[in-house]
Amino acid sequence: MGIIQAVFGTHSSRQIKKLAPTVAKINALGPKYAAMDDASLKEQTQILKKRLAGGETMDDILPDAFAAVREAAKRVLETPHYDVQLEGGIVLHQGRIAEMKTGEGKTLMATLPAYLNALGGKGVHIVTVNDYLAKRDSEWMGKIYNFLGLSVGLIIHGGTREEKQAAYRADITYGTNNEFGFDYLRDNMVLYKKDLVQRGHAFAIVDEVDSILIDEARTPLIISGEGESSSPLYAAADSFARSLKAFRIKESDEKSFDDELKGDYIIDEKARSAVLTQSGIEKAEKYFHVDNLSDPENATLSHHINQAIRANGIMKRDVDYVVKEGEVVIVDTFTGRLMPGRRYSDGLHQAIEAKEKVEVAKENKTLATITFQNYFRLYGKLSGMTGTALTEEEEFREIYKLDVVEIPTNRPMIRVDNPDRVYKTQAGKYSEII
């Protein structure tokens, strides 16, 4: 492979070569746009929209659109785009993933395809991983869009319906993956068209694309409604779970039939599951005075027991959740932030409340749910950017039909990226960190 790559180049280097003529066209237009006064530069947005309406494609107007954005960035932010950012912008416009090293300017790069695609009038969504980044980028990069006559919206947690409708009507909308997903679910629950907040899914640029589309891909977004009052079975199942002996299979261990004999329930750390063994089932039947736990009429009891052993065996206080002012608050697995107002589904949250001896809230029932994987596949065109995408290249191609192109650095790399170091034990790892 090394010899083949030396002769023909990598996939990314070949793709970058193909972009060179377009980058040259953009650079050639630089003096034309630099000579314009502010009013003339702003007028280019309407001119480009008319060209689109007249039958030209976005690819036809791309050099002019990119050159206009670069000149606007120079005037408004004093940070013109480098050629590598132009290359990355073209890759995003093509509906692909641009891998750029940290510090190479992905945020500024995204303004190029965002502006170009916003000229089509269907809206562009720029997706970030948290509210801070969404707000920062919408205000910072928003100066470029506003200078060129485009509107910018912001979707963050807690906005009213009217505020969200206005944000989604904007030409370019910044927001978090969670809020875009929950707004979609809420839209599917409204009765009247006038209450919808989103106006379609034309084009999305996903920042930290590997985190959102791979790491969190199967994370379900769930909207729950209040159900029946809490069952006393939660407390009873928790008392029973505490009386059992757990056998823990670590991530590095292989499962075996002998595991059934080592405890009343087995905790699989890798799968994050807890299952009763035969001895656990026999103890449950004796504890709750039932003949057969597997009978259909005992399904509710079985469910409560399963959630109780999950709560006691898998869910760790101050890791998966915290107890704050008498409430169980979920900790976001990916960011470490608290998520007040969010609850585990299917009775798990109530099982944890019973475990922690706080008030067990009413049970919830699921009203709407979707995974990030399914939500982002709704977009007509999807693209993304990150510093680390090549490691998940196969998954991006297979799941999302997304190609990954590595964008070269603007200057030769002087930072040393050391390989990963893996430790056999947690104690060894922490000792090395210290």
The neighbour count for residue 374, using CB atoms within 10 Å, is 15
Looking at per-residue pLDDT, the higher value among 4 and 188 belongs to 188
Q: Are residues 205 and 287 in the same domain?
A: no
Count: domains in the chain? 2
pLDDT band at residue 314 using 50, 70 and 90 as cut-offs: very high
User: How many whole angstroms separate alpha carbon 380 and alpha carbon 95?
Assistant: 9
Q: Are residues 60 and 38 in the same domain?
A: yes
pLDDT band at residue 199 using 50, 70 and 90 as cut-offs: very high
Q: Are residues 156 and 237 in the same domain?
A: no
What was the pLDDT predicted at 391? Answer: 84
Nearest to 83 by CA among 70, 93, 95, 72: 70
- 432, part of any domain: no
pLDDT band at residue 252 using 50, 70 and 90 as cut-offs: low
Domain that holds residue 161: 10-222+372-406
Q: Are residues 216 and 273 in the same domain?
A: no
Q: Are residues 241 and 267 in the same domain?
A: yes
- 417, part of any domain: no
CATH number of the domain enclosing 270: 3.90.1440.10
Q: Are 354 and 311 in contact (CB under 8 A)?
A: yes
User: How many whole angstroms separate alpha carbon 420 and alpha carbon 434?
Assistant: 17
DSSP string of 184-235, one letter each residue: HHHHTT-SSGGG-------EEEEETHHIIIIITTTPEEEEEEE-SPPPTHHH
- 328, part of any domain: no
pLDDT band at residue 260 using 50, 70 and 90 as cut-offs: low
Q: Are residues 376 and 243 in the same domain?
A: no
Q: Are residues 209 and 232 in the same domain?
A: no
Q: What is the mean pLDDT of residues 49-72?
A: 97
What was the pLDDT predicted at 339? Answer: 85
What was the pLDDT predicted at 4? Answer: 55
What was the pLDDT predicted at 263? Answer: 87
Taking only the tens place, the pLDDT of each residue in 139-148 is 999 999 999 9
- 218, part of any domain: yes
CATH number of the domain enclosing 137: 3.40.50.300
What was the pLDDT predicted at 5? Answer: 56
What was the pLDDT predicted at 255? Answer: 58
- 294, part of any domain: yes
- 332, part of any domain: no
Average pLDDT, the chain: 91
